[in-house]
Amino acid sequence: MGRYIAGRLGQLVPVLFLISVIVFGVMHALPGDPAQLMLQGAEGGAPPERLEELREQMGLNDPLLVQYLRFAGSALVGDLGESIRFRTPVTELILERFGFTLQLALSGLVMAILIGLPLGMIAAMRQNSWVDTLAMSIAYAGASMPIFWFGLIMILLFSFNLGWLPPAGADGLESLVLPAVTLGFVSAGLISRLVRSSMIEVLGEDYIRTSRAKGLSERLVLWRHGLKNALIPVVTMIGLIFGGMLAGAVVTETVFSRPGVGRLVVAAILSKDYPLVQGCVLFLSVVYLSVNLAVDILYAWLDPRIRYAA
């Protein structure tokens, strides 16, 4: 198991290097001058000598390779630069808002599991019946629905028409319900479809027939032998969904006006805050890769064939 974990950690190094190069390259290929943006509010415009002085201070006159090495070295110790708009370290801004994003992602994942797992199990147990058709129709609707559209429908129905829940903000658990359900319902479709296919495959195995022949109750066969083995591939999907929720909650946070990292990225793009965009993208990439690593380790723990084959 230790060798497997070490191997997976080793694979992350070139991936992180490639991500950092792409992020750095894209940010420097975009039009605009960070130094000029910082001096935008200067009276009478920024004097050329002040602009050149600031570019020298920021190291923008150095060759791209030198700038990249400086950026990568600082990122390794947690320094992602300073935001042009907020005049605050990027790392500090991200950490202030990451708690809201993590809260939303965890809540959305719980909702996705609570909706998707029962739907998939019911569909598998009632295969090719009207129950299966109904459950899969709900799953396809969730997987196909644009998240921003579903979020607006939820706000219109439960906030404006019924007045049950607040439409936006991050004040208490009530404000978390709508964004969590929105984020979770869209992902529940993927989980339910995978659970259904995995359960159908497992229920056709010889050991399931043997368990039934021994006289075990159907509930015991389904929960102890069927679901346990069917969940092995589902764990991978859940991990990928969670990583995607952490890294891609931009739309949900924007629709519900939640102060997370996703909304921070949108604000940084609109204000052309290149260091903040660069830092957020790199941070979210590292989070996504870390979640994938944790899922791979959990998968190897659940299925010994994976770690022994590695």
Summarised one tens digit per residue, pLDDT across range 61-88 is 777 788 888 888 888 888 888 887 777 8
Measured CA to CA, the distance from residue 204 to residue 191 in angstroms comes to 20
92-309, superfamily in CATH? MetI-like (1.10.3720.10)
DSSP string, the chain: -HHHHHHHHHHHHHHHHHHHHHHHHHHHHSSS-HHHHHTTTSTTS--HHHHHHHHHHHTTTS-HHHHHHHHHHHHHTT---B-TTT-SBHHHHHHHHHHHHHHHHHHHHHHHHHHHHHHHHHHHHTTTSHHHHHHHHHHHHHHHS-HHHHHHHHIIIIIIIS--S-SS--SSSHHHHHHHHHHHHHHHHHHHHHHHHHHHHHHTSHHHHHHHHTT--HHHIIIIIIIHHHHHHHHHHHHHHHHHHHH-THHHHHHTT--SHHHHHHHHHHTT-HHHHHHHHHHHHHHHHHHHHHHHHHHHHH-HHHHHH-
User: Over the stretch 241-261, which tens digit does the pLDDT of each residue have?
Assistant: 887 787 667 788 888 888 888
Measured CA to CA, the distance from residue 300 to residue 86 in angstroms comes to 43
Measured CA to CA, the distance from residue 223 to residue 122 in angstroms comes to 12
pLDDT band at 53 (very low <50, low <70, confident <90, very high): confident
pLDDT at position 44 is 46
User: Over the stretch 226-243, which tens digit does the pLDDT of each residue have?
Assistant: 676 777 777 777 877 887
pLDDT band at 175 (very low <50, low <70, confident <90, very high): confident
User: Over the stretch 271-298, which tens digit does the pLDDT of each residue have?
Assistant: 777 788 888 888 888 888 888 788 777 7
pLDDT band at 36 (very low <50, low <70, confident <90, very high): low
Give the tokens for residue 302.
Answer: 């659940």
Count of other CB atoms within 10 angstroms of residue 38: 19
User: Over the stretch 117-174, which tens digit does the pLDDT of each residue have?
Assistant: 888 888 887 877 888 888 888 888 877 888 888 888 888 888 888 888 888 777 777 8
pLDDT at position 42 is 45
For residue 178, pLDDT beyond 80:
yes
Higher pLDDT, 210 or 131: 131
pLDDT (mean) for 194-207: 77
Name the residue with tokens 């070139």.
Answer: 14
* Strand partners for 89: 82
pLDDT at position 148 is 81
Higher pLDDT, 127 or 223: 127
For residue 205, pLDDT beyond 60:
yes
pLDDT at position 199 is 80
pLDDT band at 307 (very low <50, low <70, confident <90, very high): low
Lowest mean pLDDT among 4-8, 77-81, 265-269: 4-8
Q: Which amino acid is it at 53?
A: E
Task: Break the chain into its structural domains and give their ranges.
Answer: 2-90, 92-309
pLDDT at position 172 is 73
Lowest mean pLDDT among 14-23, 112-121, 203-212: 203-212
User: Over the stretch 89-102, which tens digit does the pLDDT of each residue have?
Assistant: 888 888 888 888 88
Measured CA to CA, the distance from residue 125 to residue 139 in angstroms comes to 16
